[in-house]
Amino acid sequence: MIAYIQALGYPTYYMTLTILLLLLTYWLGRRLTMRKMEHAVKKAEHDYQEQITNLQMELSGKVNMLEGMVEKLKLSNQELNRLSEIRSKFMSIVAHDLRQPLTSIQGFTSVLMMDNPKDGGGNNDQIALNNILKATDNMNQLMADLMDISMIESGKFKMDFKEFPFNQLVEDVFTLQQVNAQKKGISLIKYEYPTDVLIYADRFRISQVLNNLIGNAIKFSPEGGHISLRYFVDEAYLVCYLQDEGPGILHHEQVKIFQKFHQADSGKDAQKQGWGLGLSIAQEIVNAHNGDMCVTSAGLGQGSTFWFRLPIKPMETKI
């Protein structure tokens, strides 16, 4: 290149000057670019730091807010527990205290019934006294259910486990329920069952489950219907089915009817004889035995089949 410039006739110092100027321009250009880049990096760093600080401030504000909310929730939770305890106590006191006057009313009514024999011209009195007895029976049942619910809610619903023959329990419940079934011309049948099954459970509570299921089946079935019970052993469980020819239960109601106070749309007249508590208590009892309970029904007018199973041998209890 030098030889080329010399060939053009430029003196050497011009040539050197030109080269130096070129180098200087290049160097200044680079420095300027580097400065610009440095500036851009510093600005980005600064913006980034500012963003982080803002986020940290926002976050600490939210953490403070959350801590405040947790504190408030704790207080509301404590208050809810306190109120729930008061409600349970109130329910059990009311149920307990109402039972005593009810027992007196029942006792006096029975005495009056004996003092007013039918053939003594007191037929209307007998009907009235009978109605009083029926009403007090219903109230007694409600009191018992409310006490069970309050015990369930306060965690005091304890089971008394003992071994007993299941068939004997079914016989006892059937003897009691046959009277109600016959009043409606309903046949209560038991079939396909083993007689020698011993189960480890709370006899009183399991009879409560059966009484409620059979009681419902009788209450919701039309006159002249059939109710059948069958049970068998499946591995470690006793499985029991109760089938009726009643109004049936719509699919979307089949879980809800086990909730407290829920009554399905079917069988409206029969519902007037209850409060929607029986099944929720029955399910609690079965769950407390580590068992399961559910219902199947093909729909309205198709009858229902209630099903439950209980472990035959002792298991760790849930309640």
Ligand X SMILES: Nc1ncnc2c1ncn2[C@@H]1O[C@H](COP(=O)(O)OP(=O)(O)OP(=O)(O)O)[C@@H](O)[C@H]1O
Q: Shortest gap between Cβ of 255 and Mg ion (angstroms)?
A: 16
CB-nearer residue toward Mg ion: 278 or 291: 278
| Distances in whole angstroms, Cα of residue 274 to Cα of each of 42, 96, 144, 303 | 78, 19, 13, 19
Q: Shortest gap between Cβ of 274 and Mg ion (angstroms)?
A: 5
Return the one option of Mg ion, ligand X, none that residue 200 interacts with (CB less than 5 to 8 A, by type): none
Binds Mg ion (CB under 5 A): choice among 92, 136, 150, 216: 216
Q: Are 216 and 278 in contact (CB under 8 A)?
A: yes
225 binding ligand X? (CB under 6 A): no
Task: Candidates 89-97, 117-125, 186-194, 278-286: pick the segment binding ligand X (CB under 6 A).
Answer: 278-286
291 binding ligand X? (CB under 6 A): no
Task: Candidates 25-33, 98-106, 203-211, 270-278: pick the segment binding ligand X (CB under 6 A).
Answer: 270-278
Residue with tokens 């486990």: 161
Q: Which two tokens stand for residue 240?
A: 């029991």
CB-nearer residue toward Mg ion: 13 or 261: 261
Return the one option of ligand X, Mg ion, none that residue 150 interacts with (CB less than 5 to 8 A, by type): none
Q: Are 137 and 273 in contact (CB under 8 A)?
A: no
CB-nearer residue toward ligand X: 106 or 302: 302
Return the one option of Mg ion, ligand X, none that residue 225 interacts with (CB less than 5 to 8 A, by type): none
Q: Which two tokens stand for residue 302?
A: 């198709």
Any idea what DSSP says for residue 258? G
Binding characters for ligand X, 192-221, by CB under 6 A (x = yes): --------------------x---xx--x-
Radius of gyration of the chain (CA): 42
Residue with tokens 């980034």: 48
Rounded distance between C-alpha atoms, residue 159 and residue 144, angstroms: 16
CB-nearer residue toward Mg ion: 199 or 244: 244
Rounded distance between C-alpha atoms, residue 26 and residue 35, angstroms: 14
Binds ligand X (CB under 6 A): choice among 149, 201, 277, 286: 277
Q: Shortest gap between Cβ of 110 and ligand X (angstroms)?
A: 23
CB-nearer residue toward ligand X: 177 or 216: 216
CB atoms within 10 A of CB 212: 21
Binding characters for Mg ion, 258-297, by CB under 5 A (x = yes): ----------------x---x-------------------
Question: Residue 260, Cα to own-chain centre: how many angstroms?
Answer: 10
Residues constituting the chain: 319
Q: Which residues of 141-162 are buried (b: 16+ CB within 10 A; e: fewer)?
A: bbbebbbbbbbbbeeebebebe
Compute how many residues bind ligand X; rule: CB under 6 A: 23
Rounded distance between C-alpha atoms, residue 50 and residue 11, angstroms: 59
Rounded distance between C-alpha atoms, residue 212 and residue 5, angstroms: 117
Binding characters for ligand X, 241-260, by CB under 6 A (x = yes): ---x-xx-x-------x---
Q: By three-state DSSP, how is residue 305 classified?
A: strand
Compute how many residues bind Mg ion; rule: CB under 5 A: 3
Start-end of H helices in the chain: 2-8, 12-115, 123-153, 166-183, 203-220, 268-271, 278-288
Residues forming contacts to ligand X in the complex (CB under 6 A) are 145, 212, 216-217, 220, 244, 246-247, 249, 257, 263-264, 266-267, 271, 274-280, 304
